Amino acid sequence: MPVRPTLRSPGKRRLLAAAATVLLTLPSLALAQTPIKFQLDWRFEGPAALFLASTAKGYYKAAGLDVTVDAGTGSGATVTRVASGSYDMGLADMAALMEFHANNPDAPNKPVAVMMVYNNTPASVLALKKSGIAKPADLTGRKLGAPSFDAGRRAFALFAKANSVGNVDWVSMDPPLRETMLVRGDVDAITGFSFTSLLNLEARGVKTQDIVVMPFATHGVKLYGNVIIASPKLIQSNPGAVKAFLSAFTKGAKDVMANPDPTIEYVKARDGIINVDLERRRLRLAIDAVVASPDARAEGFGTVEPGRLALMASQVSDVFGTKTRVDPKAVWSDAFLPPKAELAIFPPLRKP
């Protein structure tokens, strides 16, 4: 009569142990994800939907990534945190990245721009019509306000040169006070991101038709805006993760641009007190002004035009007074971009 194996049988125990090992190991292997810590340039506002969509729709996860997206406190801080290793990737102003490179030539971990997101700088000059300011030349001799680190204020010399603006007086303030001081008349004009300051002024009771907006991009200053940056450490140790991130992000960004309004729910999930209608407008303004702008459509999403990048590097070196000259080849790499077909994400132009 055959003898049945029992749990006490050494062979049976070894078989069960091996089976348990396989069962425990396979799920962990299947679920293994490369962690990516990503920092935005600013708070969770409308444009953050471009990055949060790929989280909500599982695009990062499907690409083998465990992506954490955090709010930021300004482009300069994002560049510094990626350089320090606190974050693997981030969104930051190209000018801030260039300045970091040129002022820290010996830094061992200088971040690299790997995808263009804001083809044009959102920097603008804003004034109230009642001030009598209608065009750039009217700024001469007037009082302008902005935080000392504001991108538009830092690059204002380029705007002034392109538009024959004479000397102006600057007043510094914390970001939340910028639009308030303009409304109160403490300053005659401000610099700020168009889609941020315009809506902030409206929130303070100013009608849209009473606001003068002078974007740098349409007034002779073709600076690039915000780019996705990556740590050299990540680039060297896991270039596939950088490629996977950009591909997954691009897929989510395409969804957002095709139908922006519902994607503000992804932003609200991260900051429950946002004004949904306001952030929907902010997102649409950002897409039209800097993401899918005429310049972006001409050059293609995610990419740069070498001559334009080189000119910007020279302008930043001069205006920011950097320790060394900015090397455009050191701050930018297109080696990780998705194929051209994947980058064709702009929706058709809306009829006026």
Q: What is the pLDDT of residues 99-136, one digit of tens each?
A: 999 999 999 999 999 999 999 999 999 999 999 999 99
Q: Which two tokens stand for residue 68?
A: 């954490």
158, 185, 218 — which closes off a domain?
Answer: 218
User: What is the domain range of residue 273?
Assistant: 34-119+224-331
Residue 90 inside a domain? The answer is yes
Position 93 in a domain: yes
Ranges of H-type helices in the chain: 10-30, 49-56, 59-62, 75-84, 94-103, 151-154, 156-162, 178-184, 194-203, 232-237, 239-258, 264-268, 276-286, 294-299, 306-319, 328-331
- The answer as to whether 13 is a domain residue is no
Query: Do 257 and 300 sit in the same domain of this protein?
Result: yes
In this structure, what CATH number is given to the domain that contains residue 314? 3.40.190.10
Give the C-alpha separation, 243 to 336, whole Å: 5
Same domain, 264 and 326: yes
Q: In whole angstroms, what is the distance from residue 4 CA to residue 171 CA?
A: 89
The answer to whether residues 229 and 323 belong to one domain is yes
| 231 and 326 fall within a common domain | yes
Q: Are residues 71 and 153 in the same domain?
A: no
* Cα-Cα end-to-end distance for the chain: 90
Position 273 in a domain:
yes
Residues 99 and 154 in one domain: no
Shared-domain flag, residues 275 and 256: yes
pTM value? Answer: 0.88
User: In a structure prediction context, what are the per-residue pLDDT tens digits for the chain, which is 352 residues long?
Assistant: 444 444 445 555 554 444 445 444 444 334 579 999 999 999 999 999 999 999 999 999 999 999 999 999 999 999 999 999 999 999 999 999 999 999 999 999 999 999 999 999 999 999 999 999 999 999 999 999 999 989 899 999 999 999 999 999 999 999 999 999 999 999 999 999 998 999 999 999 999 999 999 999 999 999 999 999 999 999 999 999 999 999 999 999 999 999 999 999 999 999 999 999 999 999 999 999 999 999 999 999 999 999 999 999 999 999 999 999 999 999 999 999 999 999 999 998 876 5
Judge if 247 and 112 occupy the same domain.
yes
How many domains, the chain? Answer: 2
Complete DSSP assignment for 65-78? EEEEEE--S-HHHH
Q: Quick one: 109 and 239 in the same domain?
A: yes
pLDDT in tens, 173-183: 999 999 999 99
Residues 245 and 212 reside in one and the same domain: no
Q: How far apart are CA 127 and CA 189, in angstroms?
A: 4
Q: Which amino acid is at 309?
A: L
